[in-house]
Amino acid sequence: MAGQRRGAGPLWALGGVALGVCLAGVAGQLVEPSTAPPKPKPPPLTKETVVFWDMRLWHVVGIFSLFVLSIIITLCCVFNCRVPRTRKEIEARYLQRKAAKMYTDKLETVPPLNELTEIPGEDKKKKKKKDSVDTVAIKVEEDEKNEAKKKKGEKE
């Protein structure tokens, strides 16, 4: 007892109990061999194997592939997924978008149709308002009237 330290006995006992509990848990997980004959292996899966509804494996794979392909084609057609492949196509698409933007910007400056058309018998002075946009035809008519007034003023 000269080599033992004081209080070491209960620690050894506690370690022994913990080791016993672990070994008991491991022993419970061991599989006991059975005396029954081994199960037969299933037949190998080939393309002629009947999967379900009397359809062979290659029928199921083909139908599934066609379904996925039709979904991909439909999505690409609906959302226009084509990616330009050359620099020339990319530049052409850029110029096309730029021209479309310029066209829409010009369309926004065009006055409404009712301001562009003239109604017969309507007085043009009443028609003109501060808010309305002068069209080219109205400006040309005003310029012609101003020139005619200047010529009459010079003759007199």
For the stretch 93-118, pLDDT in tens is 899 999 999 998 888 887 777 777 77
For the stretch 32-66, pLDDT in tens is 777 888 888 888 888 888 888 888 888 999 999 99
Percent of the chain with pLDDT over 90: 15
104 within 8 A of 122, measured Cβ to Cβ = no
Q: What number is the average pLDDT over the span 74-101?
A: 84
Evaluate if residue 7 carries a pLDDT over 80.
no
For the stretch 121-147, pLDDT in tens is 666 555 555 556 667 778 778 888 888
Residue keyed to tokens 């190998």: 44
- 135 CB-near residues (< 8 Å, 6+ apart): 111, 115, 116
Comparing 17 with 88, the larger pLDDT belongs to 88
pLDDT value at residue 62: 93
| Domains of the chain by residue range | 10-152
